[in-house]
Chains A and B, each alone.
Chain A
Amino acid sequence: MNDFDFYKSESIADAVEKISNHTDSRFIAGGTNLIDLLKYNLLRVSSLVDVNSIKNQSVTEKDGLVLLNAFATNAETAYHPIIEQRYPLLSKAILAGASAQIRNMATNGGNLLQRTRCYYFYDANTPCNKREPGSGCSAINGYNRNLAILGTSEHCIAIFPSDMCVALSALNATVCVTGSEGERRIPFSAFHRLPDDTPELDNNLLPNELITSIELPAKGFEKNYSYLKLRDRNSYAFALVSVATAMELENDTIKEIRIALGGVASKPWRVQEAEDFLQEKAPTRENFSLAAEIILQDAKGFEFNTFKIELAKRAIIRNCLMALNPSSQLPGAQPSA
């Protein structure tokens, strides 16, 4: 870790002003990813601006909408009564991520900004276009077991590792940010980026912009939902494939469904065509199977991760069936019996 200066900020305006006054400066909240990147010298900063004092109420209701404070911890959010009751999909997804200690530290805003866990991104001795633009991608022809099968480019096949964001994607959340130019709102689907030829950019946040809250629409799909996370060990590991399903049933048919995949791309993955296909259909294995085919139709595997295509299809079917009976879910978002 290189030496740096440290500033505490007392308000959103103060934080944005402080970061604007310093070059190579970053906000720090939980620090669970940022400090690790600093330790590996994958990130060097001249200063950090601590935003932890800004924290207010972790979850608030406003005109039927619910706001997640960006500076609240993942644990506070997942266990908040409003989230447990109205958005249980979000609660389950958060609790499937990291460990209890990390969830006590990591914040909601920081969750959206975590970097990829691609081995080559973390190994400074190898080329990586995300870490060093133009140096090349070691993963495409390397050991790519845990990397992307959707939305990849010839420059990068990294995945975005969040669980929380898979649920936020399914819930159609909005990201509220403040920068030097003022406030703006970013639909969740437009927040994270595909790699294309600029894999160094994970998201569409502008320099010095600070995430201040995440807004959830009123509809929380609390009756029929499920989060399934498949990984190499039962807990405390990143997903090979994860699925969030939010479903609304009416007279035994699907009135509305949202299916978001994690662990397969540089952003949570949704396919409108598949969700439209399931509308007004019966919630059967056959229909979910047809939807899974649509979702994975453009998937492209690499030497060690082609198995993920079939795994994702099966995970979608299983998770949609689990959403019919959410009480069947097990701790850690494991598949139910």
Chain B
Amino acid sequence: MLTETTKPISHAKNASTVSLKINGEDKSLVLKPWVTLLDCLRENLDLTGTKKGCDHGQCGACTVICDGKRILSCLTLAVMKDGSEITTIEGIAPSGDLHPLQKAFIEHDAFQCGYCTPGQICSAIGMLAEGKANTEAEVKELMSGNLCRCGANTNIINAIMEVKNGGNYE
């Protein structure tokens, strides 16, 4: 299904059509080249689950999954990802049941303010799919791009380890 965005769009001469499959839905947007993927998601598509923390690639709050890989949407121009498939926090549990990581985050009290949580969970999904972390030390190292300023990091790692070891990750 192709849906045109209803948001105001730029008609300047260097704007171009960008096609993205976001959470399984085809989207076509007319965007100026300088629009980041993060701003495109939040401002043009109303997908505000992806957070803008530092906007400079230092905090990981804007992490999304692009063609199966976790990336920072703040350091990516939307136009560079023309034709890509993007999964945001809104798209990780399409059936309506919580994703195993969402359940584990609740069970482990793995957030206080919750601002870093969408990025943490998208990053953890990418990390588990990569299959490079075997030990807790390796999980910590490969999750270091996501900062939690509340101090929930211990519980975040515990939640991820439970899903990793529980074998209920899909």
Residue B154, interface by CB 8 Å? no
Q: From residue 125 to 161 of chain B, which have CB atoms closer than 8 A to chain A?
A: 126-127, 130, 132, 135, 137-138, 140-147
CA distance A102 to B145 in the complex (A): 8
Q: From residue 235 to 264 of chain A, which have CB atoms closer than 8 A to chain B?
A: 235-236
User: Once the chains bind, are B63 and A101 in contact (CB under 8 Å)?
Assistant: yes
Known A-B contacts A100-B127, A235-B140; the reply to A3 vs B14 at CB < 8 A is: yes
User: Once the chains bind, are A79 and B132 in contact (CB under 8 Å)?
Assistant: yes
A-B interface contact total, Cβ < 8 Å: 93
Contacting chain B: which of A32-40, A139-147, A197-205, A292-300? A32-40
User: Once the chains bind, are B123 and A5 in contact (CB under 8 Å)?
Assistant: no
Q: From residue 198 to 239 of chain A, which have CB atoms closer than 8 A to chain B?
A: 234-236
Q: Which residue of chain A has its CB nearest to the CB of B74? A: A35
Q: When the two chains form the complex, which single residue of A6, A36, A101, A234 contacts B33, counting CB atoms closer than 8 Å?
A: A6
User: Once the chains bind, are A105 and B33 in contact (CB under 8 Å)?
Assistant: no
User: Once the chains bind, are A39 and B56 in contact (CB under 8 Å)?
Assistant: yes
Chain A 31-49: CB-based contact to B (< 8 A → 1; otherwise 0): 1100110110000000010
Q: Which residue of chain A has its CB nearest to the CB of B81? A: A52
Residue A307, interface by CB 8 Å? no
Residue A331, interface by CB 8 Å? yes
User: Once the chains bind, are B71 and A31 in contact (CB under 8 Å)?
Assistant: no
Provide the residues of chain A in CB contact with B137, threshold 8 Å: 330-331
Q: Which residue of chain B has its CB nearest to the CB of A95? A: B141
Q: When the two chains form the complex, which single residue of B32, B57, B135, B142 contacts A100, counting CB atoms closer than 8 Å?
A: B142
User: Once the chains bind, are A39 and B55 in contact (CB under 8 Å)?
Assistant: yes
Chain A 89-114: CB-based contact to B (< 8 A → 1; otherwise 0): 00000000011111011000000000
Q: Which residue of chain A has its CB nearest to the CB of B14? A: A5
Residue B112, interface by CB 8 Å? no
Interface residues of B (CB under 8 A from A): 12, 14, 16, 32-34, 36, 55-57, 60, 63, 69-72, 75-77, 79-80, 123, 126-127, 130, 132, 135, 137-138, 140-147
Interface residues of A (CB under 8 A from B): 1-6, 28, 31-32, 35-36, 38-39, 48, 50, 52, 75, 79, 98-102, 104-105, 234-236, 330-332
Q: Can you list 15 A-B pairs, Cβ within 8 angstroms, ordered by A?
A: A3-B32, A3-B34, A4-B14, A5-B14, A31-B80, A32-B72, A38-B34, A39-B55, A79-B132, A100-B145, A102-B72, A235-B140, A236-B145, A331-B140, A332-B144
